[in-house]
Amino acid sequence: MTDITPHGSQPAKLGHSPVADVPHALRVADTDPRAAKRAERQVASMFLLSMILVVAFIVSFIMIDKDTVVYIPVFGVVGLMTIMLGLTSGLSIFLIGAGAIQWAKKLMPDVEVVQMRHEMTSPADATAEAAANYERGKDESGFARYPIIRRTLIGAMALFPIPAVFLLRDLWSGGESGIESPDEILSHTLWRENMHILVAETGQKIRPEDLPVGGLVSAVPANLAEEQERAGNQDALGKAAIILVRMEPSEIVAQQGDGWDYQGIVAYSKICTHVGCPIALYEQRTHHLLCPCHQSTFDLANAGAVVFGPAARNMPQLPITVDNEGYLVATADFAQPVGPSFWERG
């Protein structure tokens, strides 16, 4: 039997410690009604401020341009919206917790409790006693006695889930709301018709003869640096990074579009369709591209098909050709979203 009663078998009593046989020190709020009132206002203020911060979160989410960046020493350049959403949601939950602690420390009964442990099972009388203890605890907590605290706490708890709704909204909202869904965001990259393909390491244009059969090179679009400068982040690289691989044209079994190779050179996204690791492990003999994260394997001679591992869809292919000067260029953007497929495509 588990017997939980304040002061052992004695009713709870302020001003006495049964654990250490010393006088119990009363708090200021126990003896001074004005101090108790002050503590009540402190607690209510924290819950109220929490509500205001939730409103600030919503305003930040709506008003701040997602591309606006600020410089913060140590952290460098960061998105203003990210900072504001983190600060407001973090502080709002912190203030609910801090208010609850203040409430418990300053206003709830300050008594020591002795818990006698006996058998693990709970007979009916113990259950009844627990229910009685619960009712007594409810009374002692002052939930009914401090209506302003009760109301502000309920208000703060009611508003607190709202930020999560705004964040989750990004996962399913479509173009009508002005917020793109993940498949829309991942469906357009910097690639477009006549966009030059640059070697990622050197930033140089590349000709077909620069890439021998069996070779692989990581590449990016020619307007990448300009876009990164404008956006102040790496998002564009995360979507537009590709690999170029050359094989004999006769070895190509299938592609995602007719004539999307150029003389045996095929271009595929570099971002794994499982959870988005960058890939560049290529097995020349089998034309397999292996992701180092969870071993998904894609057959680049067969339309980027998944031949092993957890990836659920082909590696997206980029259609390419050469311009008038013989440099490799894209002929269009990817025909399907790049990157991980954690979301459901329509």
Q: Could you list the residues that contact ligand FES (CB under 6 A)?
A: 272, 274-277, 291, 293-294, 296, 309-311
Nearer to ligand FES, 133 or 302 (CB): 302
Query: Nearest distance from residue 149's CB to ligand FES, in Å?
Result: 49
Query: Nearest distance from residue 6's CB to ligand FES, in Å?
Result: 55
Query: Nearest distance from residue 297's CB to ligand FES, in Å?
Result: 9
Query: Nearest distance from residue 237's CB to ligand FES, in Å?
Result: 17
Nearer to ligand FES, 207 or 294 (CB): 294
Query: Nearest distance from residue 171's CB to ligand FES, in Å?
Result: 20
Query: Nearest distance from residue 304's CB to ligand FES, in Å?
Result: 13
Nearer to ligand FES, 111 or 293 (CB): 293
Nearer to ligand FES, 129 or 183 (CB): 183
Nearer to ligand FES, 220 or 279 (CB): 279
Q: What is the 3-state secondary structure (H, E, C) of the chain?
A: CEEEEECCCCCCCCCECCCCCCECCCCHHHHCHHHHHHHHHHHHHHHHHHHHHHHHHHHHHHHCCCCCEEEECCCEEEEHHHHHHHHHHHHHHHHHHHHHHHHHHHCCCCCCEEEEECCCCCCHHHHHHHHHHHHHHHHHHCCCCCHHHHHHHHHHHHHCCHHHHHHHHHHHCCHHHCCCCHHHHCCCCCCCCCCEEEECCCCCECCHHHCCCCCEEEEEECCHHHHHHHHCCCHHHHHHCEEEEECCHHHCCECCCCCCCECCEEEEECECCCCCCECCEEECCCCEEECCCCCCEEECCECCEEEECCCCCCCCEECEEECCCCCEEECCCCCCCCCCCCCCCC
Nearer to ligand FES, 152 or 296 (CB): 296
